[in-house]
Chains A and B, each alone.
Chain A
Amino acid sequence: MDRMLFVLQRLTALLLLPLIIGHLIVILYAVKGGLTSAEILARTQGSLWWGLFYGLFVVAVAIHAPIGLRNILKEWTPLSRVASGWLSLAFGLVLLWLGARAIQGVVL
């Protein structure tokens, strides 16, 4: 289990690096002409590419972050290894749900 989580966290980190850079560049670009929801939605709504970009982003975050959280809970709280695992899985599912809702809101 630890080995698989280690590998998944590293691989998702590799994936997240270009996605985060892309996300930051878009933020800088998006605020240039003033930030309005209409402008953002005009760019994202119905866009397959932005859907895929942020879809991948959300999935990678939902895998990457809970693995780190599991280590923190395991090491810094009295929670057992198993309890830390389940709690982190729940956190990952919440991230996935929130992310999916956000994508639904801006892309669909």
Chain B
Amino acid sequence: MSTLKVKIWRGEEDGEFQSFEVPARENQTILDVVTEVQRQQEPGLSYRFACRVGVCGSCAMTVNGKPRWTCRTHINAVAKDGEITIEPLRNMPVIKDLTCDMTDFFQKWQKAGGTFKGTVTRKDKVVTIPPSSPKRQKADAGIECINCAVCYAACDTVNWDSEYLGPAALNRAWTLVNDERVGNQKEVLDKAIGDNGCSSCHSQGNCTASCPVGLSPSQSIHGLKRMSLLSFLGTEV
């Protein structure tokens, strides 16, 4: 059986790559390879996963230089001459091996006003919102995010400016300012367009290019910038 050469990051920020060889199977994802290494060769290898089928967003890593969901990345799609390099996600501190500390990433969701604050209680009637309404369609375009941080790792602006809220948090804010059930839209918008918010984005589009769900955080941030300018000029947004 032919083999795959796999280089896996070991240690913390100042760690190094360790090389492994695993059997090359016909149907194999990057996550399968990492699991094979951990089960058969290096029990001390740390990595994160949960669902294995692209639902939970836990297993994102940097594969051959690009952030990806490892569970949905087939070896054949990324292996170069039978070689694969696997590292933890960029832009977050490495805890050990392939796991990174996502605290800042999640805290930035809060900083961007990401908590849902409704206007009604469970005793009130459910408000009817037509799925065809323009605002709902804008919100719908961004709501499938599962917080995997692939866009955040792909973003050069986050890399340069660690305070920048990043594409995922701003995409969340965009869905809220377009969601008619949200009671504090002004507060969310102020946070998303404020310091370290949407105006830091350079519209490079790495987030959109790498989003495994096919969302466009870039478009959401563009929408926030437009709202920022129009609300300053006193135009209803």
Residue numbers of A with Cβ under 8 A of B are 1-3, 5-7, 10, 71, 74-76, 81
Contact = CB atoms under 8 A, between A and B. Distances in A.
Contacts of A74: 161
A104 to B, nearest CB: 33
A6 B199 contact: yes
Interface string B148-160: 0000000001001
A2 B232 contact: no
Interface in B172-231: 193-197, 199-200, 225, 228-229
Per DSSP, are chain B's interface residues mostly helix, strand or loop, or mixed?
helix
Contacts of A7: 228-229, 232
Contacts of B193: 3, 6
Contacts of A5: 199
Contacts of B228: 3, 6-7
B163 interface: yes
Given A7-B229, A7-B232, A10-B229, A2 B199 contact: yes
B229 A71 contact: no
Given A3-B232, A6-B228, 8 more contacts: A2-B195, A2-B196, A3-B193, A6-B229, A7-B228, A7-B229, A10-B229, A75-B160
B225 A6 contact: yes
A71 B195 CA distance: 12
A91 to B, nearest CB: 19
Nearest to B196: A2
A7 B228 CA distance: 8
A2 B197 contact: yes
A3 B199 contact: yes
